[in-house]
Structure 1
Amino acid sequence: MRRDRGLRLVGVFLVLALIGTACGDSEEATADTTAATTTTAATTTTVATFDLVLAADEFLSGIPEGWMSVGDTVAFKDAVAASNATVIDVRTTGEYEAGHIEGAINIPLRTLADNLDKIPADSQVFVYCKSGHRAALSVGALRMLGYDNVLGYPAGWAGWTDAGEPASTDMVTAMTYAAPDIEPALLTAVDDYLNGIPEGFLSAGDVEKVKEAITAGATIIDVRTPDEYTAGHIPGAINVSLRDMADGLADVPEDSSVVIYCGSGWRAGIALSVLQSLGYDNTKSFPG
């Protein structure tokens, strides 16, 4: 509207100027007639808006086989031994101090985006927590930010200790790395999500809690593959497979409770991380 009004005013001034010229003497008229006319075109600069959904789709559709998991405890030990890997414990500082995998550094889940300078972007990184839920959220967030070198250890601290593996209480100082170039809008979205994670870490709870949520009208989303869904699913659940999540956002309500599940909780945690980064703060996952 302001631009249209400005153009009309410019037109009025041009008309008045031409009338004034016509009223002058012939020499001035001749001079004005032969004078060069300069026209200045208005230039409009368009600033591209970052497409967060497109970024999410690029990540989700490119998820490799294995769902970014290193596997069980034996596979995890072998992978660590075979590489100069960085192992990150994303539990709270108190949990880490009480006992952790030897050599692991501690970056609590909520602070991941604030500590990217402690996470290498060009060498293997493994993430773990207590049971796999927070590790899945971490892998989803870091992968969204472009850390394609990150894998999770779903068995976590519980699986590690159950296997009789040793615990360490030695504090490990993290090395410092050059943080990758990340689109500011994407970093802000992921950081806001991580910093805002409430108590309970966005878990929908156990089976009884999920049943209560269903009774209360929650939307249940199964993020397994269509074949897995067809073979059997929670009654009433809809299927939006993980890799197709960005294309299925129309099926995800924004203003009512949503519970996500998969086979073990791992894929559900990754899906939850993406949805939370996209602003779906009404979502939780069923880790079981």
Structure 2
Amino acid sequence: MFFHQRFVPGLAIYSYIVGDEKTKEAAVIDPTRDVNDFLEIASREGLHIRHVLETHVHADFVSGSRELKARLGDGVTIHASGLGGKEWTPPYADHVVKNSEEISLGSIRLKAIHTPGHTLEHLSWALFDESRSSDTPWLIFTGDFVFVGDVGRPDLLGEEARKELAHQLYRSVFETLPILPGFTEIFPGHGAGSLCGKAIGSRSSSTLGYERRFNAALVEKPEKEWIADLMDQMPLSPPYFARMKRVNKEGPPVIGPELPGQRRWSAKEVHERMCENCLIVDVRSKESFAAAHIPDAINIPFGPTLPTWAGWVLPYDRPTLIVLDRPEQMHEVTTHLLRVGFDDIQGYLEGGMDAWEVSGYPLEKSSTLSVHSLNKQLGEVTVLDVRTEKEWNGGHIEGAIHIHGGKLQENFSLVPHEKPVVVICGSGYRASIAASFLKREGYKDVANVLGGMTAWNAAGFSVEKSDGSDNSGCRTSETATTCS
């Protein structure tokens, strides 16, 4: 059997290629939109991709099923679940899958197992290698049903749907999953860093037996108690998740082999707004952005978490123009953005900020601050903590305002203008994003704390902790305002 697991850092996506080594028939499971890797692997191994299998309608990235079929032709069959009803059956599916249906690739069989809970239609695909055993699955692709160390969250479709999905998830875990032997290997749809669960481990695979023993979500207890424990301290889900659901349900546009966004824009064209209504996204480091940037630009530093934060904070109804350090980065930047549905990428600033600066166009700067300087200025500045609720509860600066970085644009009114605003996160990455939005909103004196709370704690400065008992949203106490 041919087997390949592909991992996308940041979004923490696992996709798979499996195939029969004799017939060379292959299937791709849960592909991302950037399909070149799958095509190159298939070509290198002499495989013929005949099937594309979806586990569910994804919320955190754009499915690559249509893209892969468009590149390979009509010899490819897209298989998607019809078990969530018409609303959640993608119209681009060539084969609408029912529970227990099977797909054959030579001696390899893939059997659909309905495992609702994360979504209504969710399937897991059990793999049988008939050269070894025709009646016992060797492994199972669990999608967002079971992860290493966790299970998929049931709350992405709203509170009313959450109640039913949580009930279905409980049944999938404790009624459906036990039919599989403990030695069955599990290969999930996500790894550590994904927001589709709250405690996903960093290992790329596990066995059901190991997870039954050490995965807290697979320990049976009364349903209400189990659901309460599952939902306790569940991280916020980004607003783009709802958009991804709609895109994947309806069918994303096909990109084709040529990536968008490769046009070069001169500094003069950018300054004269030739890219009409373009949002300028600066992907340089937080230090470079602080030193000099184009007025109103948004900073999301280049790296694996760029697509997640783009989905959190950027509007989808604006064309995007990129400022970067090196032109060769543009391919990866574009790929990151396309994975989360930002299709209207117009290009990048030719010559980068050097070209802008020598043209004499206006510049903005953002201040940076060491934790030692911040400690001396407490009381004279507004400290804005943009970390998660869990991070905040674990220790924060007394008197700080807490607003999750992804919620800042909804809560500018909670940040006073009267004092300088000092933004802090774990290391400075998220704080730079938030600071760029504050500058864009009209806050004049904004600083990013270098090293964030990691440096603050390392310096031995005092923190206070919260018990996390109130998760109702924004609230104010004598020492802090918090919004999660």
TM range (shorter): 0.3 to 0.5
Structure with the bigger percentage of strand: 2
Query: TM-score by structure 2 length?
Result: 0.25
Structure with the bigger percentage of helix: 1
